[in-house]
A and B are shown apart, each in its own frame.
Chain A
Amino acid sequence: MEEWIQVLIRTIILFIITFILVRLMGKRNIARLSPFPVVSYIVIAVLTALISINLINIAFGLVALGVWAILPIAMEYLEIKSKWFHDLVSGKETVLIKHGKIMEESLLQTRLTGEDLLRELRAKNAFSMADVEFAVMESTGEINVFMKSDKKPVTAHDLGIKTAPLAEPQTVVLDGNILNEPLASLGLNKEWLGIELEKMGVSLDNVFLAQVDSFGDLYVDLFDDAIILPQPQVKELLYANFEKIHADLTTYSMETQNEQAKEMYSRNAEKVKQLLEKLKPYLLR
C-alpha cells in the first residue's frame, strides 16, 4: 500500500478514537480546568499527531494514548470519592483578601503581583479596594470576590418587595420550526400555538423565535423587524380592571341609602383591595 493511503486511514481512525476519548474525559470547560488536566489534553493531542504521521510505532502510541486518557478519568473518580486526594490533585483555594485586608503571604504563595490582583478585582467590578470584604483564588486560578454588604447590588429581598416565583421560559419556535418537545412539556400543542399566533396576526414562517413564559404568555420575535407587535399587556389590564372594580364598589357604598347594601359594598370593596395587594407582585412585576 502506498504510504499516503496508510497515513490517511490511520489519521481517520485516530481522529475517531481521540474524539471518543476526549468526550469520555468529560465536558468541563477547558479554560476552567486546574493545570493538570490541561497537561493530559496536550499530551493526548501531541501523541495523536505523532502517531498519525508515523513518527511513533502505532502500537506503542496507542498504549500511551490509552494510559493518558484512562488515568485522568480514574483520578477524577478518586477525587470525587476522597477529599484528601482531591486537595492533593486539584489543590485548595487560597484566600487573598480577608476582612477587607490583603493577605500578602497568599499573594506570594500564588505568585500574584499587586497589579495582577487589582486587574482581577477590576474584572469583577471591584474598582475600589475599600468595597472588597473577601476574595479567593480558586484552584483553577480564577479570582472570586465577595463585596462589602453595603456595596452589593440591591435585591428585591433587601427592599422587602414580594416577587412572584417564576419558572424558566421555554422556547417553542426556533428559526420558523415548531419545537414539539418543550411545547408538549408545557401541556400545549400546535393548535394552541396556531391560535396565539393568529391572535397576534403573524404567520408561523415569519417567526424566528417564540418563547412561553411562566404565566403561559407568548413572546414572539419576527424575521421581519419592520412589523411592530403589541406586547402582551393582559396582566396590567387585569390589574387595572380590579382597581376599577374597587373604585366602583367604594362609590356604590357611599351612594346607597340602604344600610344592608352599604355594608355589603364596603365589605366587598375591602375584599377586592386585599386581592389587589396579593396579586400585585404577580401582575405588575
Chain B
Amino acid sequence: MTVASQVKQTLATLKGSQATLRIYSEQIRNNESAAVFHDALDKTRDIVNDLEKRAQALELQEPQYRGN
C-alpha cells in the first residue's frame, strides 16, 4: 500500500467516526453532553481538513498511484 492510500484510509475512518459523532450530538438528550459531542465534531473537522490537504499533496508526489 502506498503512503497516499494509507492516509486516505485513515481519512475514511475519521470521516466515518465523524458521522457517528454527528448522530450522537443530535440524539443525545443532555445539554452538557451534547455540547461535548458538538465540540468533538468541530475538532475532527479541523483534522479532516489537514489530512485532506496532505492526501492531495501526496497524490501530486506519487502521480503513478493516483486513485488508489
Contacts and interface: CB of A to CB of B under 8 A. Distances in A.
Contacts of A255: 3
Given A167-B30, A252-B7, A282-B36, A234 B43 contact: no
Contact of A238 (B21, B28, B29, B47): B21
What size tier do the contact residues of chain A reach? 20 to 34
A166 interface: yes
A271 B30 contact: no
Contact of B14 (A166, A186, A216, A245): A245
B36 A278 contact: yes
A241 B33 contact: no
Given A238-B21, A268-B47, A245 B30 contact: no
Interface string A231-248: 000110110011011001
What size tier do the contact residues of chain B reach? 20 to 34
A272 B29 CA distance: 25
B49 to A, nearest CB: 10
Interface in A188-243: 214-216, 234-235, 237-238, 241-242
Nearest to A261: B54
Interface string B36-68: 110110011011001100100100000000000
Nearest to A239: B17
B30 A272 contact: no
Contacts of A252: 3, 6-7, 10
Contacts of A238: 17, 20-21, 24
Contacts of B17: 238, 241-242, 245
Contact of B40 (A164, A234, A279): A279
Interface in A157-178: 164-167
Per CB-CB distance, the 6 closest pairs between chain A and chain B, nearest first, are: A216-B27, A167-B29, A248-B10, A241-B17, A268-B47, A165-B30
Given A166-B30, A265-B54, 18 more contacts: A216-B28, A237-B20, A241-B17, A241-B20, A242-B17, A245-B14, A248-B6, A248-B10, A252-B3, A252-B10, A255-B3, A267-B50, A268-B51, A271-B43, A271-B46, A275-B43, A279-B36, A282-B37
11 contacts: A164-B33, A165-B30, A215-B33, A238-B20, A238-B21, A248-B10, A252-B6, A261-B57, A268-B51, A275-B40, A279-B36
